[in-house]
Amino acid sequence: MQELTGTFATPNGSKYLQQLCKHFSHKINVEYSETEGVCSFPMGQAFLSADADGLTVRFELEDAETVDRARSVIDSHLARFAFRENFETMAWSD
């Protein structure tokens, strides 16, 4: 199993968590609240959390080959949702 964590410092973490989860729920199984979410992607589980400091996404991936895809899924959607904040990419670590 491969773990991957991304952070985005923003005062709008809860807003983006809910937008991401609602969007993904059209295609995959998702559970979420204002501060936590779980998204069941084919490549693995994503655990989202939000607080006053920002948004954190932690993936538990099936294998290392899916790391780039996991990053891309979150970054590409946040680029659309957080365009007013000039979002480019989360700060990722694995």
Distance CA 26, CA 23 (A): 6
What does the pLDDT average to over 65-88? Answer: 96
| C-alpha to C-alpha distance for 41 and 82, rounded to whole angstroms | 22
| Contacting residues for 27 by C-beta, under 8 A, at least 6 apart | none
Q: Model pTM?
A: 0.94
Asked if residue 47 lies in contact with residue 37, where contact means CB atoms within 8 angstroms, the answer is: yes
Q: Write the pLDDT tens digit of every residue in 1-54.
A: 899 999 999 999 999 999 999 999 999 999 999 999 999 999 999 999 999 999
Domain span holding position 52? 2-93
64: pLDDT strictly greater than 90: no
The residue-averaged pLDDT of 67-75 equals 96
Question: What is the predicted pLDDT for the residue at 79?
Answer: 97
What is the number of domains present in the chain? 1
- The CATH code of the domain that includes 88 is 3.30.310.50
Given a cut of 90, whether residue 91 has pLDDT beyond it is yes
